[in-house]
Structures are given as structure tokens and as C-alpha cells.
Amino acid sequence: MESLKIIFLCIAAAVVYGILHDQVTARVCVEYFTIGHPPVFDTDSPTLLALGWGVIASWWIGLILGVPAALACRAGALPKFQASRLLRPIGALMLTMAVLALLAGIAGYYAAKADAIRLMGPVASRVPADKHHAFMADLCAHLTVYGVGVLGGFGLCGWIVIQRWVLARKAQ
């Protein structure tokens, strides 16, 4: 049962982060969602788009990271971790993701403004020219979050195993 709690915690954390992140990026450039994504929701509302895409784009990564986290916490003879023990580390990962997404978004915006990166292909012609920089800011923020989230999630699994091993060594 504790393994299911850990998996659910990871899914819930991913979804909450996804919704909050998308609430910000949908307001930076709603076209990132209305043009840059398939038309799943018939709305231009940044709030509704962020709610919908925050869930769609994140629940599955929470599941993918939740299963190894549950294994890292519960498998084997080492002292077991409860789901509650992951609240702070997951919170720290989410904060790290937010800070790095902000920095990547700012960097993406200024890189696009300096013409170091640009929106290309069919999306470029559909996004209003005055929104290209903001679109690239959103793209950079989202790509950063995906990378940091996946690496950080697997890093968290490694940290859990190390912490369990340290606890076992102290108990000897």
C-alpha cells in the first residue's frame, strides 16, 4: 500500500507542478498552447488551457518516475521509506524546476530577441510575429522543466537508495 502512496504522490506532485507551471507560461504566450499544441481544448482561456495541459502533459511522467521511486523506497532489505519522507525532496525538486524554468524562459526570450534562436516551420507563420519571443520563452521553459524533472526524478531515486543504505549502515 505504501508503494501506491509513493506513486500517487509522484503523480500528484507532477500534476500540481504542471498546472502551476502552465498557469504562468499560458499567460506569457497563450499561442504556445493554442497553436503549438494539438487542439484538445476548444478554448483560448489561459487558465483552462493551463489546467488541461498541466494534467495531460504531466501525470504520465509522475507515473513513470513514481514507479522507480516506489521501488527505491521499498524494495529490498534496507530500511523502508514512507511516502511522507519524500515530501521535502520532491518539493525541493519542484522549486529547482521552477527556478531553472524561469531562467531558461528569460534566456529563451532574450536569445530569440537577439535572433540567436527563432521560431521556424509552419508554427512560425501561425504565431503572430510580435509573440515569437514569448513563444520561444515558453518553449525553453518547458523543455528545461522536462529535462530537469526527468533527471531530477531519477536523481531523487538514487538519493533515496543512498539514504536507505546510510540508514542501514548506521543501524549496524
- Of 109, 113, 171, 115, residue with least CA distance to 140: 109
What does 74-127 look like in DSSP terms, one character per residue?
A: HSSSSPPPPGGGGHHHHHHHHHHHHHHHHHHHHHHHHHHHTTSS---HHHHHHS
Return the pLDDT at 135: 98
Distance, CA of 172 to chain centre = 38
Q: Which backbone phi and psi does 72 adopt, to 5 degrees?
A: -60, -35
Return the pLDDT at 41: 85
What does the block give as the cell for 68? 522507480
What does the block give as the cell for 57? 502533459
Q: What is the pLDDT along the chain (172 residues), one digit of tens a residue?
A: 999 999 999 999 999 999 999 999 999 999 999 999 998 889 999 999 999 999 999 999 999 999 999 999 999 999 999 999 999 999 999 999 999 999 999 999 999 999 999 999 999 999 999 999 999 999 999 999 999 999 999 999 999 999 999 999 998 7
Distance, CA of 90 to chain centre = 11
Dist. CA 102–CA 32, nearest whole Å: 16
Return the pLDDT at 171: 86
